[in-house]
Amino acid sequence: MLFADADDFFADNAIDIFNEYIDSEKYLLHTNYNTIYSDTLEKANRNKQHSYIIQKSST
């Protein structure tokens, strides 16, 4: 199951990344992500805190 809403879109290599885990026995998989402003497509930084948490929890 993949959660995405109407304004989400995926990196060109997203399917390759998902396929790396297709046979995983993990119950829940979190991935890092990039954020942009939808009106300008400029890079945003809303992902910084989430990325930090993911990195800390995977060590």
Overall size of the chain counted in residues: 59
The pLDDT, as a whole number, for residue 32 is 76
The pLDDT, as a whole number, for residue 59 is 64
The pLDDT, as a whole number, for residue 21 is 87
Summarised one tens digit per residue, pLDDT across range 7-50 is 788 889 989 988 998 898 887 777 778 888 889 999 988 888 87
User: Could you state, in order of their start, the residue ranges of all structural domains in the chain?
Assistant: 32-59
From the number of C-beta atoms within 10 Å of its C-beta (0-12, 13-18, 19+), residue 32 rates as exposed
The pLDDT, as a whole number, for residue 38 is 84
